[in-house]
Amino acid sequence: MAEVYLDRFSRSVVRDRWLGHLIAHLPEGASVLDLGCGAGVPVVRHLVGLGHRVTGVDGSARQISLARAHVPGATFLHTDMTALDWPNASFDGIAAFYSMTHVPAAEQGPLIGRIGAWLRPGGIFLASFGTGAAHDWTGEWLGTDMFFSHNDEVTTSTLIRAAGLRQMRVETMKQDDEDARFLWIMARKPDRSDGRAYLTAPMP
């Protein structure tokens, strides 16, 4: 269903808005990790076009194949995002557009904790999460079996803070390309400009 997904969801005003927020806070030539990159468009392609160094990760072999064809200037990995093991302070920005809801709710906290460690001081994490608690649902979606899971909004925000990240923007928005609502969070890893907040942030 990779091609079906790309045709249906390759355009979104909501996603473009949040991608713009991320881009506005990236340094020149940033190192960016896109978790659940799909076919690489539009997110990875846009970031690479701006001169950023992007690594895309997706659990679908077909999506990764499409992404490599669409954005040859990026690095793509076919793997489960929960199995990644990057060195601390590897990225200036980490994004997860519509992918965290495919991670079991119980595993989202540990993953967010690792994301916090992978970010450099001052780095940005931007992600969409589900609204309300809906643990571990499997069913038919776009003609194939699909898994969804998410925590409620308060729990998700608590997990972000526990990872040592400071929330900059938090908003629940209805999608423009499907009948769904997502909790959007943009958070920043404190650095020395944050003074005491940087010194007391939880260590990875």
CA-to-CA distance for 82 and 91, rounded, in angstroms? 17
Domains and CATH numbers, the chain: 2-200 (3.40.50.150)
How does pLDDT run across 7-28, given as a tens digit for each residue?
555 667 999 999 999 999 999 9
H/E stretch holding 24 reads helix 13-24
Q: How does the average pLDDT of the chain come out, rounded?
A: 88
CA-to-CA distance for 47 and 23, rounded, in angstroms? 8
Provide the pLDDT for residue 177: 62
Are 188 and 165 within 8 A, CB to CB? yes
H/E stretch holding 28 reads none
pTM of the predicted model as reported, rounded to 2 decimal places: 0.87
How does pLDDT run across 57-71, given as a tens digit for each residue?
999 999 999 999 999
Answer yes or no: is pLDDT of 5 > 70.
no
How does pLDDT run across 54-106, given as a tens digit for each residue?
999 999 999 999 999 999 999 999 999 999 999 999 999 999 999 999 999 99
Provide the pLDDT for residue 198: 46
